[in-house]
């Protein structure tokens, strides 16, 4: 079973991308293209169409796309472009127009012109003599000459044209030009048509190309990357480029050159902790700035740091650069005229919004001595590039200027607050950013860059406070960066250790586990005498967790030994905590319990010291099939004695563990009790949560990001939950090859010695499900036995219920009732021992399946098949998990333990999660039960989409027949209908259609 080589299906770590620069119709401009194409083809339409737009708006691409549409319908298209330097040669553009139109004249007209002076010759003479009257007459004659075949002349980049030619054009009454001649021009400009002098010219029409909207921007990114961008990548592109196509291409080019964009499962992501790229020196936006020279470049550099200070920025620029204020004002005006900067539309400082002036000629100071509202860069990506091109000393100096100004204003406000003059405000005072978090981040960034140029103690306090306020840093504003800066600025040893610990925690939370591990180990080895036992305990736990997430299993095995910790001469509390966590992460549960039992007097001294070891013990007992202590821990008795960070860490660990055991209701109750929301959860937690909720599209988005960044490990007892459940979703959506490749890539990445690393029983369970779907029961049994044998070595019980249930069903399908009954007895024992609702449900379903397949009742006294399935339905409904409920409803309906209406309910639940394969099987069951399948046309479209997906997965007709539980002839007939309905002619074309996200059922829907 091999997937097509070009398929971008997901692999652990993702794949790099390159930009697709294939020409095509400009994305997001379809309506405008049709409009201009229609106007130029209308005999009564305008003779001159002017397309205007800012730098990078895509004017050239647009006018040439219109030209291609016209050329395709038989209209001649002539190109007369303008380039920098044309402006110094009077009448150059007019001359080129006359010459181009003369070349287009019919042959007979050319012969007549030999008997008199040719228009081109006369135009050349008029240009040399700078005779505007003669040139205007020649141009009118060229435009109005009789017998001219339909022609459109493209005039690109009119902003470079000479003023004399533009004057001639503006004096031309285009309403008198024959309908066979049209001019299509582009011009770099912003704003409305009234700013160019064309508004009074007859027979003209102006179109302004604005920035693309959010959907169009996302579509552009998808086309360039040949992959759908995730929400974070799409949002970053929109925020940095404001939808300007040229800026989008420049940004994506920078990221791809860095190798920062990774693709997993046909979706593109910016790699974790990847910075915004700096535009190259030859980029159009940077060359426009460089062309202005000094002092514009100096002012632009300072503005890139100081612009959020609003109206104070110009004066601060003058002070910090030594430039006179009038030169700063002139430079700001020049930058604005060049479309690099713009006046702030409004200042939002401390909740006060002040409208900005409408004129682009704002100066310093304003005529009424009112401070101007300030300036900002037109595009944030340009502001970033200008700032990054500054030298480190220059950035530090300018940042210090900003910090001192903001601190002075903060001090004044605090004085007023203390005196009751103004209410206390949390956001940084004087920052012209409407979002409070962005304002906090701006000040913290400036403090970090100012470094030793500002008061060190206050700088450290500012950075620490900002990191605490914006933790967790889900938007990537810079918590890790601020903690690192604080470490460099701290002078006292005790304070430095605390700062290092905060930095390590920030690195861990940001997914930079190697940095977290390095710092934590350095503290343990070199600075242990400065920290107390509790702080060392936290550091030891952090170090061990970071080593785990760094996937260094050999190092983790060393951390599981007493010898490693003894060498550090740490307090016993820290050593026991770190070692117990290492044993737990290696899933050596009994060893962890033995260690914690022997050392309980060491770690059970108070609530804070007890919290982590007690939780490790509870999880170890849970894994060994004794969940009582873990369930008691959910009450969180230590919470009142722990700081917010500890509570958050333990609560999310418990949340993941509950979701690992598929206990959705208990997990959500824990969230509510601890006041946690989705924005505070890590991607792994969001994945597990959304998966059980049946919100699979959202779950897959988190999974793809983790896979692309190689961050799929979870701190739960089962560390392979993310790839295992992702593969299960892919299988349910008809993508077995993608699921298999994912499982294989995880096993390859996890290659290690037999005693190292976590178990892979969840991977084995999904692999067995995959093999059963493909008709390989022997392979499925082998995978299940492998998982059970490995779990038995370590005494693992939790999670093995899935393996025993699947093995029982596999034996029953193969006609081996005795072996199936043995598996059910194991499953029954686990259910009785743990009291787990999920295990009970799996037992009820498996025993019913075994009895239906073999005609034998399951062991024990759980009653008949119908009784078991009715209990299973009630239990599944109480657990509120859509996919699990749907599977249970189908089993009950097919066994006659409930009405056929259960199939309708299951059908809708499968549809809600996008489980295309079981939904297909449910349609079959509904037809066999004689019930109506809702939405015949939609059902046909879904069938064909599923069939196309299976083809794109590289499955043969025989494999497809097995997966769909059809005959090969039935599959062949469906393929024939698929080709007929969609117009596709081969399996290769079907693969291409699926890979480009073409909905193959479109033809079916249209023919309906």
Letter string b/e over residues 564-599, b meaning 16 or more CB atoms within 10 A of that residue's CB: bbeebebbebbbbbbbbbbbbbbbbbebbbebbeeb
Residue 1002 has pLDDT above 60, yes or no: no
How far is residue 993's CA from residue 999's CA, in Å, rounded to a whole number? 7
pLDDT one-digit tens code per residue, 708-721: 888 888 777 788 99
Higher-confidence position of 671 and 363: 671
pLDDT at 362 over 60: no
Q: What's phi and psi for 881, nearest 5 deg?
A: -115, 110
Separation CA 102–CA 118 (nearest Å): 9
- Looking at residues 481-503, what average pLDDT do you find? 90
Measured CA to CA in angstroms, residue 58 lies from 54, 209, 219, 228 at distances of 9, 8, 15, 22
* 972 pLDDT above the threshold of 90: yes
Angle, alpha carbons 363-364-365 (nearest 5°): 110
Higher pLDDT pick, 20 / 818: 818
Q: Are strands 346-349 and 267-270 parallel, antiparallel or unpaired?
A: unpaired
In this structure, of 261-270, 297-306, 600-609, 912-921, the range with the lowest mean pLDDT score is: 261-270
Q: Which two tokens stand for residue 698?
A: 């959202």
What is the per-residue pLDDT across 372-403, written as a single tens digit (0 to 9) for each?
Answer: 588 999 999 999 999 999 999 999 999 999 99
Is 349 in a helix, a strand, or coil? Answer: strand
pLDDT tens digits for 183-195? Answer: 999 998 754 444 4
Q: What is the pLDDT of residues 929-945, one digit of tens each?
A: 999 898 888 999 899 99
CB 98 within 8 A of CB 143: no
Q: Please compute Rg for the chain using Cα positions.
A: 35
**Three-class DSSP category at 184:** strand
Q: What average pLDDT does range 632-649 have in this prediction?
A: 88
Q: Taking all residues of the chain, what is their mean pLDDT, rounded to a whole number? A: 87
Report the alpha-carbon distance of residue 983 to residue 563 in Å, rounded. Answer: 70
Tell me which residue of 876, 878, 880 sits closest to 897, measured CA to CA: 876
- Range among 300-314, 426-440, 482-496 rated most confident: 300-314
- Sign of the Cα torsion 416, 419, 421, 425 reads positive
If residue 479 lies in a helix (H) or strand (E), which one and from where to where? helix 479-489
Segment 6-24, tens digit of pLDDT: 333 444 455 667 777 665 6
User: Does 203 have pLDDT greater than 70?
Assistant: yes
Overall average pLDDT of the 231-256 stretch: 94
């Amino acid at each position: 079973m091999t997937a097509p080589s070009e398929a971008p299906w997901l692999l652990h770590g993702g794949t790099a991308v390159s930009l697709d620069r294939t020409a095509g119709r400009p994305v997001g401009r379809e309506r405008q293209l049709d409009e201009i194409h229609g106007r130029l083809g209308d005999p009564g339409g305008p003779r001159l169409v002017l397309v205007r737009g800012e730098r990078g708006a895509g004017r050239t691409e647009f006018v040439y796309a219109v030209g291609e549409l016209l050329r395709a319908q038989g209209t001649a298209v002539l190109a007369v472009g303008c380039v920098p330097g044309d402006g110094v040669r009077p009448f150059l553009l007019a001359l080129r127009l006359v010459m181009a139109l003369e070349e287009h004249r019919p042959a007979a007209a050319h012969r007549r012109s030999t008997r008199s002076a040719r228009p081109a010759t006369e135009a050349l003479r008029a240009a040399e003599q700078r005779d505007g009257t003669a040139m205007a007459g020649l141009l009118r004659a060229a435009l109005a000459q009789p017998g001219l075949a339909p022609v459109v002349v493209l005039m690109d980049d009119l902003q470079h044209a000479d003023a004399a030619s533009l004057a001639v054009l503006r004096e031309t009454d285009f309403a008198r030009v024959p309908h066979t001649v049209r001019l299509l021009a582009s011009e770099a400009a912003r704003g409305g048509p009234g700013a160019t002098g064309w508004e009074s010219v007859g027979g003209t029409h102006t179109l302004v190309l604005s920035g693309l909207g959010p959907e169009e921007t996302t579509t552009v990114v998808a086309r360039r990357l040949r992959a759908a961008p995730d929400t974070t990548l799409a949002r970053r592109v929109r925020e940095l480029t404001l939808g300007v196509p040229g800026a989008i291409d420049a940004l994506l080019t920078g990221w791809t050159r860095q190798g920062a964009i990774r693709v997993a499962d046909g979706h593109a992501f910016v790699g974790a902790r990847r910075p915004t790229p700096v535009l190259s020196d030859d980029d159009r936006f940077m060359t426009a700035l460089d062309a202005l020279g000094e002092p514009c470049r100096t002012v632009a550099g300072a503005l890139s740091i100081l612009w959020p200070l609003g109206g104070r920025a110009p004066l601060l620029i003058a002070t910090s650069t030594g430039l006179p204020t009038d030169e700063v004002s002139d430079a700001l005006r020049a930058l604005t005229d060049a479309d690099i900067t713009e006046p702030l539309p409004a200042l939002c400082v401390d909740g006060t919004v002040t409208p900005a002036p409408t004129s682009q000629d704002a100066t310093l100071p304003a005529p009424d001595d009112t401070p101007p509202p300030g300036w900002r860069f037109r595009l944030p990506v340009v502001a970033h590039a200008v700032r990054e091109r500054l030298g480190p000393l220059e950035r530090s100096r300018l940042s210090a200027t900003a910090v001192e100004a903001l601190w002075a204003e903060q001090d004044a406000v605090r004085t007023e607050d203390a005196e009751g003059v103004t209410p206390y405000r949390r956001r940084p005072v004087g920052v012209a950013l409407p979002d409070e978090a962005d304002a906090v981040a701006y000040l913290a960034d400036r403090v970090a860059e100012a470094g030793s140029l500002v008061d060190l103690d206050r700088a450290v306090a500012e950075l620490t406070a900002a990191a605490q306020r914006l933790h967790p840093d889900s938007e990537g504003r810079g918590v890790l960066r601020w903690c690192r800066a604080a470490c460099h600025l701290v002078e006292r040893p005790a304070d430095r250790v605390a700062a290092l610990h905060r930095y390590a925690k920030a690195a861990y939370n940001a997914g930079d586990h190697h940095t977290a591990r390095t710092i934590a180990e350095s503290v343990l080895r070199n600075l242990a005498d400065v920290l107390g036992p509790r702080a060392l305990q936290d550091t030891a736990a952090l170090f061990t967790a970071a080593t785990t997430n760094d996937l260094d299993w050999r190092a983790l095995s060393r951390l599981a030994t007493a010898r490693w910790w003894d060498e550090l001469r740490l307090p016993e509390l820290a050593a026991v905590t770190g070692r117990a966590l290492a044993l737990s992460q290696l899933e050596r549960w009994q060893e962890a319990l033995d260690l914690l039992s022997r050392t309980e007097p060491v770690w059970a001294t108070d609530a804070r010291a007890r919290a982590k070891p007690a939780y490790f013990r509870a999880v170890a007992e849970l894994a060994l099939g004794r969940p009582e202590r873990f369930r008691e821990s959910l009450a969180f008795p230590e919470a009142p004695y722990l700081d917010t960070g500890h509570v958050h860490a333990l609560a999310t660990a418990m949340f993941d563990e509950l979701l690992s055991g598929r206990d959705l209701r208990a997990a959500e109750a824990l969230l509510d009790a601890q006041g946690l929301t989705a924005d505070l959860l890590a991607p792994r937690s969001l994945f597990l949560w959304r998966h059980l909720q049946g919100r699979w599209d959202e779950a897959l988005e988190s999974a793809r990001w983790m896979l692309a960044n190689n961050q799929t490990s979870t701190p739960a007892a089962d560390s392979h939950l993310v790839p295992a459940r992702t593969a299960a979703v892919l299988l349910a959506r008809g993508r077995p090859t993608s699921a298999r490749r994912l499982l294989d890539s995880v096993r390859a990445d996890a290659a290690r010695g037999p005693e190292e690393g976590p178990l892979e029983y969840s991977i084995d369970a999904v692999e067995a499900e995959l093999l059963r779907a493909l008709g390989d029961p022997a392979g499925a049994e082998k995978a299940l036995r492998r998982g059970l044998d490995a779990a038995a070595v370590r005494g693992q019980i939790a999670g093995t219920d899935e393996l025993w249930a699947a093995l029982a069903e596999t034996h029953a399908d193969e006609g081996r009732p005795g072996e199936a009954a043995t598996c059910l007895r194991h499953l029954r024992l686990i259910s009785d021992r743990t009291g787990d609702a999920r295990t009970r449900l799996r037992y009820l379903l498996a025993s019913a399946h075994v009895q239906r397949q073999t005609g034998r009742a399951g062991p024990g006294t759980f009653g008949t098949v119908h009784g078991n399935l009715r209990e299973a339905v009630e239990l599944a409904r109480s657990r509120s998990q859509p996919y699990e409920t749907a599977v249970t409803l189908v089993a009950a309906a097919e066994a006659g333990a409930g009405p056929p209406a259960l199939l309708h309910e299951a059908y809708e639940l499968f549809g809600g999660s996008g489980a295309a394969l079981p939904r297909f099987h449910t349609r079959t069951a509904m037809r066999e039960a004689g019930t109506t399948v809702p939405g015949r046309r939609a059902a046909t479209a879904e069938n064909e989409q599923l069939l196309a997906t299976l083809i794109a997965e590289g499955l043969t007709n025989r494999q497809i027949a097995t997966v769909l539980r059809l005959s090969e002839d039935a599959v062949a007939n469906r393929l024939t209908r698929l080709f007929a309905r969609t117009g596709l002619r081969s399996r290769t074309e079907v693969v291409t259609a699926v890979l480009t996200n073409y909905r193959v059922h479109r033809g079916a829907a249209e023919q309906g």
